[in-house]
Copies of this chain bind each other. A is one copy, B any other.
């Protein structure tokens, strides 16, 4: 009875796929923004850092929804050249898309964030936005996009005071870089641990169910056999 086995296996696969937790899922790998501590120095090439959650989510949203459906039902997509994106249907975008990625469903809050990160609306007729560093296939440069600051705070706090003495500063800097990396790795490890533990919990639950299954199945067949004798 292979059909049965298939059923079991599909059950097995389904439950180990961990497709539950829509909300949790999206947070994974989006929470670790260590932007705050990394200071860019004028004249240096832009330091790569972990992109802001907002940018990552917006990028992923485009990756996930851009190819969907026919043009007529498209809610949001990259523009033809991949140099920007278009919200084709603000209403559906607000109602359906935003709450899947953010903690709200307000188009204006989304726009506010775009402005914060320096995106430009490039047409008065369409909701099309561009940012030099936000393009299709270029996830790796998202980290170069920064929030517009109201403060002149370019240096991290602990470097500002001693920005003249370069010896001390540069070794401090290295130290701090390492420190940052460590903390980031640490955080990710903890998140991973949680995920692994959740996987284990799922596994255990499934095992219990399988065992129950097995035992009940045995009982019922025992009875059948007995009746047939």
Residue numbers of A with Cβ under 8 A of B are 1-5, 7-12, 14-24, 99, 103-105, 151, 153, 155-162, 171, 175, 178-179, 182-183, 185-186, 189-190, 192-193, 196-197, 199-200, 202-207, 209-222, 224-225, 228-229
Residues of B within 8 A of A193 (CB): 189, 192-193, 196
Determine whether the beta carbon of A214 is less than 8 Å from that of B214.
yes
Residues of B within 8 A of A216 (CB): 3-4, 7
Determine the distance from Cα of A212 to Cα of B22 in the docked complex, in whole angstroms.
32
Residues of B within 8 A of A225 (CB): 221, 224-225, 228
Determine the distance from Cα of A229 to Cα of B224 in the docked complex, in whole angstroms.
11
Select one of B20, B157, B205, B224 contacting A161, CB under 8 A.
B157
Q: How far is the CB of A26 from chain B (nearest CB, A)?
A: 10
Determine whether the beta carbon of B105 is less than 8 Å from that of A24.
yes
Interface pairs A-B: 4 shortest CB-CB? A161-B162, A203-B203, A158-B160, A15-B15
Q: From known contacts A153-B158, A179-B179, A204-B203, infer whether A15 and B20 are also in contact, taking CB-CB under 8 Å.
A: yes
Q: Which chain B residue lies CB-closest to A215? A: B5
27 A–B contact pairs at CB < 8 A? A1-B218, A1-B220, A3-B216, A4-B213, A8-B214, A14-B16, A14-B209, A15-B20, A18-B19, A20-B23, A21-B23, A24-B99, A24-B105, A151-B156, A153-B156, A153-B157, A158-B161, A175-B175, A179-B179, A193-B193, A200-B203, A203-B204, A207-B210, A217-B217, A221-B225, A224-B225, A228-B228
Residues of B within 8 A of A156 (CB): 151, 153, 158
Residues of B within 8 A of A189 (CB): 186, 189-190, 193
Residues of B within 8 A of A161 (CB): 157-162
